[in-house]
């Protein structure tokens, strides 16, 4: 057998091994109820929950706590998933920039004691292009 064939087979085997190992680590999108059920079964795999921040009638965010002077690595908030179930989320890192402006939030982590402990927060912020209109600022010409 030629050396090039052996190298090709080894490369293909490595590629298959990498694909199999990454699919085993892939997390899934679930609701808070499903996350709680998984936690009660003892599953500690990372999961994604998509939701929106809890807001009052005026649109102000409620149940969000972050005190960088007391503890800069503790941020808690309430997230409402797509099935309208609210759950407290604990994030043990600083609050992400522009968090309040986000339209939709994805938290990655798992449930622990009826609280979702997030390792990552992914945010979908409002687009600067509203209603397909592009905002153009004119710069005055220099004399």
pLDDT tens for 94-136 read 999 888 888 899 999 999 988 999 999 998 876 655 555 555 5
> Residue 38: inside a domain, yes or no?
yes
pLDDT band at 26; cut points 50, 70, 90: low
What is the three-class DSSP state of 78?
strand
> Residue 45: inside a domain, yes or no?
yes
pLDDT of residue 4: 84
Global pTM reads: 0.69
Q: Whole domain around residue 99: which residue ranges?
A: 27-124
pLDDT of residue 78: 94
With a CB cutoff of 8 Å and minimum separation 6, the contacts of 129 are 135
Number of domains in the chain: 1
- Domain CATH for 100: 2.40.50.140
């Amino acid at each position: 057998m030629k050396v090039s064939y052996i190298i090709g087979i080894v490369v293909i085997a490595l590629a298959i091994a990498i694909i199999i190992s990454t699919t085993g680590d892939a997390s899934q999108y679930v609701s808070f109820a499903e996350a709680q059920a998984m936690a009660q079964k003892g599953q500690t795999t990372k999961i994604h929950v998509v939701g929106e921040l809890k807001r009052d009638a005026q649109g102000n965010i409620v149940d969000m706590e972050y005190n960088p002077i007391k503890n800069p690595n503790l941020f808690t908030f309430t997230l409402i998933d797509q099935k309208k179930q609210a759950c407290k989320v604990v994030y043990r890192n600083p609050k992400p920039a522009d968090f309040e402006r986000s339209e939709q939030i994805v938290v990655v982590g798992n449930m622990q004691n009826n609280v979702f402990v997030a390792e990552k927060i992914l945010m979908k912020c409002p687009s600067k292009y509203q209603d397909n209109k592009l905002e153009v600022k004119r710069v005055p010409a220099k004399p």
